[in-house]
Structure 1
Amino acid sequence: MERIDLYQMHWPAEDGTPIEEYWRTLLDLKQEGKVRAVGLSNHNVAQLEAAERIGHVDTLQPPFSAIRRETGAELLPWCRAHGTGVIVYSPMQSGLLSGRFSAERAAALPADDWRSRNADFKGEALERNLALVDAFGPVAERHGVSVAAAAIAWTLAWPGVSGAIVGARSPAQVEGWLAAATLELTPEDMDEIAHAIDWTGAGAGPVRPAALDSSRIWRSGSPRRRWGFRAG
């Protein structure tokens, strides 16, 4: 390869290195032609602002799902305003929104699986999350897709989201959610899911995109969407 297409700082530096220093390094790599675009992952708005003052942030990679919705509050609007592409990760919330998870499966998770120690997979939080998964069922059925595809399409329906990184362990899993690439959720679908989030109390963050600019909000099937793939 002559250059890397996209190079991102995955987490803020934990050794005290200021963002101005490592962001300048990434911008230098872009200026030298070694990478086409540079971005940040798991950074907040204040950190994005600090980086943008030095040079443009091409992309942001945050967690985002119908359970973990905080990204929709400030990060997505900031990225839209600054022309920063957003590649969300964990849109199925580590399997919870796949439509194949259950309380029994959660209880049987082995000790070496980090999910066995995660609050989303235990007690009342798990009950709320699984109730939300059930609410995705009718939406998925209307469109003839899997619950997983509907959950991924929900993230892609938000303005500012450019693509989603989805993990798979087998070709069958890929086939189960691939329909999300062309699925266009309707305003009624989004309202139904928002109401389900409200009454289940699952997760945290805004339950729907802002009502403005509706001509763009609901076009989750935009041809400009791109997918990210990873193993596992």
Structure 2
Amino acid sequence: MQKNRLGTSDLLISLIGMGTWAIAGQGWEYSWGAQDDGDSLAALEYAVERGVNWIDTAAVYGLGHAETVTGKLLRQVPASRRPLVFTKGSLVWDRATREISHSLAPQSLMMEIEESLFRLQVDVIDLYQIHWPAFPADGNSEGIEDAMAILAKAKAQGKIRAIGVSNFDVAQLERAQAVTDVASLQPPYSALMREIEEQILPYCAESKIGVIAYSTLQSGLLTGSMTRERIAKLPEDDWRKSRSADFQEPRLSRNLALVEVMANIGARHGVSAAAVAIAWVLRAPVVTGAIVGARRPDQVDGLIDATRIRLSDNELEEIRPYLPQGVGTNVPSSVA
């Protein structure tokens, strides 16, 4: 699989990376429902066999569980094929109540790094990212400078190889860069969520900041397998059912129409609607890689297929009428 350099770091990453939100399991606020760890490990290992060379996770996914599963994968994959591991901090939780909160305090972040190293069972984290500049995303992002300084210290100590951020806007990126090198930004980006096209993507291109896009399949909505009936049957603890406007009317009908168009385009290439949705994200030269998620090994091939197609101008025009009006939709408040 093609590899791109992540920003100005020494990390060469495959076009596709595996995300771990869905495999974090149940029992936390942003769960996608129950998940079998055996299936998760098999899916991740098969993705690595297919050429995926990075796993993106976060401390808060499953309140530590996704990192633990990722750590098991790293131990069972031969060293010669061991994927890069990216994780994120700044979202912490109360051990008793399991309530999630946000902190950019240097002491808190350094403790998070140590705990992630322990759960992942590694000596160094390849990319450590600030998960959110504020949470909820309310504009109060005091502490960015101190947070970046402590990550620079952790890098100097050999605990992390590169520093990244997630969900930052241009002003916040500028503040972060004033303190230390920022290798990458992890923003939400899909055919249904395009806000970053206006300012953020141009800024990253100009500043040589790598972009690893998340929610490329809009939390599963653009996979081609999400129907009205399936959405109605989602578990009550699946946050998409009650919190995501894209899974509810009036957006749902438009979104399903977009999926149908993508499925038709995919049929011409012998790939799924999901592959077309991912290829749509990867069409942007500034995007270094796209994060996708799979719960089982049989879901992996349909996602990696995105790397073997290139959407023509005519196909992009077919998709265009079904995109949201204006520049994207509102980013949901979540822990993505």
Q: What interval of TM-score do these two structures reach, taking the shorter chain for normalisation?
A: 0.7 to 0.9
Name which of 146, 158, 161 aligns with 2:272.
146
2:228 is aligned with 1:99: no
Shift of residue 177, structure 1, vs aligned partner: 1.5
Shift of residue 164, structure 1, vs aligned partner: 1.1
Runs of 5+ consecutive residues of structure 2 not aligned to the other structure: 1-121, 330-336
Aligned partner letter, 1:49: E
Per-residue Cα deviation, 1:62-114 (whole angstroms, up to 9, x for no partner):
11111111122211111111000011111100111000111122222222111
Q: Structure 1 residue runs of 4+, over 6 Å off?
A: none
Name which of 126, 129, 144 aligns with 1:5.
126
Q: How does 1:32-181 map to 2 (within 5 A)?
A: 32-117=157-242, 118-181=244-307
* In structure 1, distance between residues paired with 2:146 and 2:219: 33
2:327 is aligned with 1:205: yes
* In structure 2, distance between residues paired with 1:18 and 1:68: 27
Runs of 5+ consecutive residues of structure 1 not aligned to the other structure: 208-232
Shift of residue 13, structure 1, vs aligned partner: 4.5
* In structure 1, distance between residues paired with 2:263 and 2:187: 26
Shift of residue 184, structure 1, vs aligned partner: 1.6
SS in structure 1 at match of 2:236? coil
2:312 is aligned with 1:186: yes
Q: What TM-score, normalized by structure 2, do the two folds share?
A: 0.57
Per-residue Cα deviation, 1:143-186 (whole angstroms, up to 9, x for no partner):
11111011011111112101111111111111221111222222
* In structure 2, distance between residues paired with 1:13 and 1:195: 34
* In structure 2, distance between residues paired with 1:154 and 1:41: 21
Alpha carbons of structure 1 residues 126 and 9: separation in structure 2 relative to 1, 3 Å? same
* In structure 1, distance between residues paired with 2:270 and 2:170: 38
Per-residue Cα deviation, 1:198-222 (whole angstroms, up to 9, x for no partner):
xxxx376269xxxxxxxxxxxxxxx
* Identity within the alignment, %: 48
Aligned partner letter, 1:166: V
Per-residue Cα deviation, 1:103-127 (whole angstroms, up to 9, x for no partner):
1222222221111112111111111
Aligned partner letter, 1:161: V
* In structure 2, distance between residues paired with 1:87 and 1:16: 22
* Partners of 1:152 and 1:164 within 8 A in 2: yes
* In structure 2, distance between residues paired with 1:204 and 1:111: 32
SS in structure 2 at match of 1:172? helix
Shift of residue 55, structure 1, vs aligned partner: 2.0
* Partners of 2:254 and 2:322 within 8 A in 1: no
* In structure 2, distance between residues paired with 1:17 and 1:72: 25
* In structure 1, distance between residues paired with 2:148 and 2:325: 32
SS in structure 2 at match of 1:12? coil
CA RMSD of aligned residues (A): 2.0
Aligned partner letter, 2:143: P
* Partners of 1:87 and 1:163 within 8 A in 2: yes
